[in-house]
A and B are shown apart, each in its own frame.
Chain A
Amino acid sequence: MKEILYHLENVGVCYRHFSILRQHRDGEIWALKDLSLDIFRGETIGIIGRNGVGKTTTLRLFANIISHDAGVFECYPKRITMLSIGAGFDNYLTGRENIGLNGRLLGLTKKRIGEVIESIIQLSELEEFIDLPVRTYSSGMRTRLGFAIAYYADPEVLLLDENLGVGDEAFQKKSTALIKEKLASVNQTAIIVSHSIPLIKEICSRVIWLENGRVQMVGIPDEITRAYQEYVRSSCPKIANTRVNLTK
């Protein structure tokens, strides 16, 4: 039997305009409503939907970064990492020092960092610059370093928000291939938010389509993405017409 990692029953998440003096009932936004779902070890879940429907909120909920305000939310994995490129970098520290800091923030132990530091440097292709302060790096170099650290963070559940591949074209191919390879492993669980339907179809075992904070459909990728694309086309006829006119 598959090992269950998340169990959600009618989960809701609400953002409030918080005031310690009084609760603003009118300042409530329910970003997620009635989400019911089980996620098992080894699955790759894709989340699709238009902007502002609650995709990032769902990821933050799975990452244990935000709490739920309604329903039952059970989360069993201990090491969950959102592939957040370069979160917490200190510009005045060198690349090597930032690997130590960022790696620890992502939950790596001192011993593990010692074991993988050379691999991280090699993967980021920053051998010559690793002992220079990060403020001297280009944004591409920062992203590469961030990706390499996150890649070696080795979580039970990997959460990705749009950024499967990063950096220039060559590094993008390399990083995408590495992530795909990681996701192919039997025990790796991942939850991916993406607007790229071909990617979702290629790597996900199940897809959740969110609309206005609610689950519209859950199921196999081909079926859900087809329904989603039809919905987008039918709900945005103006955009579709404009495109047709432009091509004429």
Chain B
Amino acid sequence: MSFQFSELVLFRSLAELRSESTHSYAGMLWWLIRPLLSLCVYGVFFMLIMGVKEDHFLLFLFTGVISWEWFASATLRNAGSVAGNRPLLLLVKLNPALFPLSISIVTMVKFLLGLLLLIIVVACFGSMGLSSTALLLPILILGQLVLVCGVGMIAASITPLLPDFQLLLLTVIQLMMFLSGVFNRIDTLPPTLRTWLSLNPMALQIAQYRQVILYHELPKIQDMIYIWGFGIVCCLIGYALLTKFRTTYTKIW
């Protein structure tokens, strides 16, 4: 990947953030309001309707919700990104990886704002406080970025060839939400189920965020390696697919 292409990806991401912020009156504030609203919806359901009484459940939930929303919104948007930009691909010779990569960065910036809010609440208002384990956050965030980019590039490469994939993906993402420990701890599940769920990198990723922010624990090194490895392999596959099919996307009818 050349320096000029990386610069284009970054510039396009910033341009999109700037453009999105002018779409509504509240602008950038929406990037904070949206996760807070999601939190309210889940909070009402779990605490008022289901009667969950655990300590710090809202913080536990918020950590899961923001990291999951980054993954889910990026993957769904990425899936349609190359197909949606076909008119541009018919006019300019472009590396189609530009679209999923810039969407992954845009959604990361929104996640970072949610994360900042979480850290402020934990540090200032909770009884838990923050410990030095939170210093590991940049490594975890980068790990998730690699994962989001990889999964996004694969999804983006498939949709133009098989449009039904995007519709199917919506259901897969919904199912994955319940299998990623957004609402519950994976380690409280039966061992067989836990083994299967620990193959899901997002389940491990969400658990790691909670470990370093809420429980002041160090994440398991093998989990980190697994997430990074999974992400890197997806990136290589996704990039190769997009490169292979670049000139095919413009010829499909």
Binding site for B on A (CB under 8 A): 13-18, 20, 60, 63-67, 80-82, 84, 87-88, 90, 92-93, 97, 100-101, 104-107, 109-110, 133
Contact residues of B between 9 and 26, Cβ < 8 Å to A: 11-12, 15-16, 18-20, 22-23
- Give the residue of B7, B19, B248 whose beta carbon is less than 8 angstroms from that of A18: B248
CB of B252 within 8 A of CB of A60, answer no
Contacts of B88 in A (CB 8 A): 87-88, 105
CB of B253 within 8 A of CB of A105, answer no
CB of A110 within 8 A of CB of B7, answer yes
- Give the residue of A16, A63, A92 whose beta carbon is less than 8 angstroms from that of B22: A92
Question: Does chain A have a CB within 8 A of B174?
Answer: no
Q: Tell me, rounded to whole Å, the shortest Cβ–Cβ distance linking A17 to chain B.
A: 6
CB of A65 within 8 A of CB of B252, answer no
Complex Cα gap A15–B161 (Å): 13
Extra contacts besides A82-B91, A87-B88 (17): CB < 8 Å: A15-B251, A20-B161, A65-B89, A65-B91, A65-B247, A66-B247, A66-B250, A67-B247, A67-B251, A81-B92, A82-B92, A84-B92, A87-B92, A90-B16, A92-B22, A106-B92, A110-B11
Question: Does chain A have a CB within 8 A of B135?
Answer: no
Q: List 7 A-B contacts (CB under 8 A).
A: A64-B247, A65-B89, A65-B247, A87-B91, A88-B91, A104-B4, A105-B8
- Give the residue of A13, A17, A101, A105 whose beta carbon is less than 8 angstroms from that of B94: A105
Contacts of B18 in A (CB 8 A): 92-93, 97
Contacts of B19 in A (CB 8 A): 90, 92-93
Q: Tell me, rounded to whole Å, the shortest Cβ–Cβ distance linking A9 to chain B.
A: 18
Complex Cα gap A20–B15 (Å): 34
Question: Does chain A have a CB within 8 A of B90?
Answer: yes
- Give the residue of B20, B87, B162, B253 whose beta carbon is less than 8 angstroms from that of A20: B162
Contacts of A104 in B (CB 8 A): 4, 7-8, 11-12
Contacts of B11 in A (CB 8 A): 100-101, 104, 110
Q: Tally A-B pairs: CB < 8 A.
A: 81
Contacts of A133 in B (CB 8 A): 22
Closest residue of B by beta carbon distance from A80: B93
Complex Cα gap A104–B141 (Å): 28
Contacts of A18 in B (CB 8 A): 161, 248, 251-253
Binding site for A on B (CB under 8 A): 4, 7-8, 11-12, 15-16, 18-20, 22-23, 87-94, 161-162, 247-248, 250-253
CB of B94 within 8 A of CB of A93, answer no
Q: Tell me, rounded to whole Å, the shortest Cβ–Cβ distance linking B16 to chain A.
A: 8
CB of B23 within 8 A of CB of A92, answer yes
Closest residue of B by beta carbon distance from A110: B7
- Give the residue of A20, A66, A105 whose beta carbon is less than 8 angstroms from that of B92: A105
Q: Tell me, rounded to whole Å, the shortest Cβ–Cβ distance linking A148 to chain B.
A: 16
Q: Tell me, rounded to whole Å, the shortest Cβ–Cβ distance linking B114 to chain A.
A: 23
- Give the residue of B15, B89, B250 whose beta carbon is less than 8 angstroms from that of A100: B15
CB of B15 within 8 A of CB of A16, answer no
CB of B250 within 8 A of CB of A101, answer no
Contacts of B248 in A (CB 8 A): 18, 67
Closest residue of A by beta carbon distance from B246: A67
Q: Tell me, rounded to whole Å, the shortest Cβ–Cβ distance linking B4 to chain A.
A: 6
Contacts of B247 in A (CB 8 A): 64-67
Complex Cα gap A109–B5 (Å): 10
Closest residue of B by beta carbon distance from A161: B91
Q: Tell me, rounded to whole Å, the shortest Cβ–Cβ distance linking A193 to chain B.
A: 14
CB of B23 within 8 A of CB of A16, answer no
Contacts of B16 in A (CB 8 A): 90
Q: Tell me, rounded to whole Å, the shortest Cβ–Cβ distance linking A75 to chain B.
A: 11
User: 4 closest pairs, A vs B, by CB?
Assistant: A67-B247, A84-B91, A92-B19, A87-B91
- Give the residue of A13, A14, A65, A100 whose beta carbon is less than 8 angstroms from that of B93: A65
Complex Cα gap A242–B251 (Å): 38
Complex Cα gap A82–B87 (Å): 13
